Structure 1
């Protein structure tokens, strides 16, 4: 039986959570860092992941060992080392480089709804992952990913569409991820057994 989830997020005690917003029925796995980020209802992150400056939609499935918005270094400086921007760790009379961290925050990652990010994937700063997309395990995302597309590789490239464009547009128009908990429960068997076309026809998409 799966771990019971509810309105309060389930956070592993070894996870590092800082300045985060988590929706209902969400879960953060062991040894995961979730920093200055938000995650919508019914989404989860498995263990040993790092997510920073990221907005994640609802119903997203993020596998273990993923890295979302890894920090860039100041390559244009004489030294790109940590000591130049985390100076307080090295010098008693020096402050951290606030402008550098503001620059990092200026390139957030945005992830839509019902996105699956596979084991060990990396999403670089400033990228957008569209609703319904799939990022294959081990992929390195250097460009935006369109809704309902499947990408893989390093750098990640489109493999195929998850659904035809017309179906993807109908799903986005339906917006089932905004349904309340009772409606989701009522439609559970339809999610499981109907084709996507039949599901859309039945539920008005």
Structure 2
């Protein structure tokens, strides 16, 4: 039987953890199955409002989060409109005040540097109060430490932390990482994942190589 993922909360009597794909509605936010968000301070169902910041439709930038990610309380994603145009001689965002200054409305995007989409891979763990900046891509299996500020791309299965975030270490050796990226277990059926959980959770890759 397929494990259902058509409910808001993964656990009964726990309203602090939600399946994100069940609570987001913005078409520019895409979340994979089984990705969870926990919030013990606010309603986790308000993730889109409280955690995806400066995400204005005018930029058409996207937040893409893969499957089986774990996102801790307070993690935030800061988009392009939080930036200012660094090539300008002034920090002030003049174009957004087009009504006040009688400027062309279509030039509003000139107020900031467009950094692009935020893309999070599969099975990524984002720690408490971490901040992911616009344009950052985080690879499969990566770990983002508590209160890290991620300003650059993070390779798969890399642990980063600090301000700005820097590499702490790799989770596994390069051979294991290559094998995990080849297997892409997160794309398996839920039945196959459930059947092989002992192998996945053992930390040993050898058993999975034969699948």
Normalised TM-score (structure 1): 0.72
TM-fit CA distance, 1:195: 2.9
The counterpart of 1:26, out of the listed 19, 27, 32, is 19
Give the number of aligned pairs.
181
Hey, what does 2:35 align to over in structure 1?
43
Provide the C-alpha distance between the structure 2 equivalents of 1:93 and 1:145, rounded to a whole number of angstroms.
39
Hey, what does 1:154 align to over in structure 2?
163
For the 8 Å contact 1:28–1:45, the answer to whether it is kept is: no
**CA 1:79–1:140: 2 relative to 1, 3 Å:** closer
Note if 1:99 corresponds to 2:128. Answer: no
Note if 1:74 corresponds to 2:72. Answer: no
Provide the C-alpha distance between the structure 1 equivalents of 2:113 and 2:166, rounded to a whole number of angstroms.
27
**Local SS of the residue matching 1:74:** coil
Cα deviation digits, residues 168-192 of structure 1 (max 9, x gap)? 0000101101001221222233333
User: Superposed, which structure 2 residues align to 1:121-200 within 5 Å?
Assistant: 121-192=130-201, 194-200=202-208
Normalised TM-score (structure 2): 0.70
Unaligned runs of 5+ in 2: 10-17, 40-49, 56-61
Provide the C-alpha distance between the structure 1 equivalents of 2:21 and 2:188, rounded to a whole number of angstroms.
23
TM-fit CA distance, 1:199: 3.8
**CA 1:198–1:127: 2 relative to 1, 3 Å:** same
Runs of at least 4 residues off by over 6 Å: 32-35, 90-94
**Local SS of the residue matching 2:205:** helix
Question: What is the RMSD of the two structures over their aligned residues, measured on CA atoms?
Answer: 3.4
Cα deviation digits, residues 121-172 of structure 1 (max 9, x gap)? 1111111111111010111111111111100101111111100011000001
Cα deviation digits, residues 17-67 of structure 1 (max 9, x gap)? xxxxxxxx933699x996722111111233342264221111111111112
Unaligned runs of 5+ in 1: 12-24
